């Protein structure tokens, strides 16, 4: 898939932040090249205003949250993300 097509995929998920969409698309394209990750899917959580990716590595589901390396990590936000994603996973 092209980078423009991937970017559009992220925009159609509902995210209005173009930087997050572009970052998600870039990470998605990089992970598609990684043969250790399969079944890669794109997600957007409107409650958290968060784009994330999930894929399979061996028999485990792994989650990737694209963030800019130039921005400081907010550990309170990371904790919210972990709680939300673990709650969502337990509902499946």
What's the per-residue H, E or C state across 3-64? HHHHHHHHHHCCCCCHHHHHHHHHHHHHHHCCCCCEEEEEEEECCCCEEEEEEEECCEEEEE
pLDDT for 53: 96
**Per the structure, how many domains does the chain have?**
1
pTM for the predicted model, two decimal places = 0.86
Average pLDDT over every residue of 7-35: 94
Domain of residue 27 covers: 3-91
Average pLDDT over every residue of 11-19: 94
User: Is residue 90 over pLDDT 70?
Assistant: no
pLDDT for 86: 86
Average pLDDT over every residue of 77-92: 83
pLDDT for 92: 61
In the chain, pLDDT over 90 holds for what percent of residues?
80
């Amino acid at each position: 898939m092209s980078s423009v097509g991937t970017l559009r995929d992220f925009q159609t998920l509902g995210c209005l932040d173009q930087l997050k969409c572009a970052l998600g698309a870039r990470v998605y394209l990089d992970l598609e090249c990684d043969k250790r990750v399969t079944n890669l899917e794109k997600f957007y959580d409107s409650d958290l205003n968060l784009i994330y990716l999930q894929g399979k590595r061996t028999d485990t589901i792994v989650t990737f949250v694209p963030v800019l390396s130039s921005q400081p990590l907010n550990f309170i936000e990371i904790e919210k993300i972990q709680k939300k994603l673990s709650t969502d996973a337990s509902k499946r």
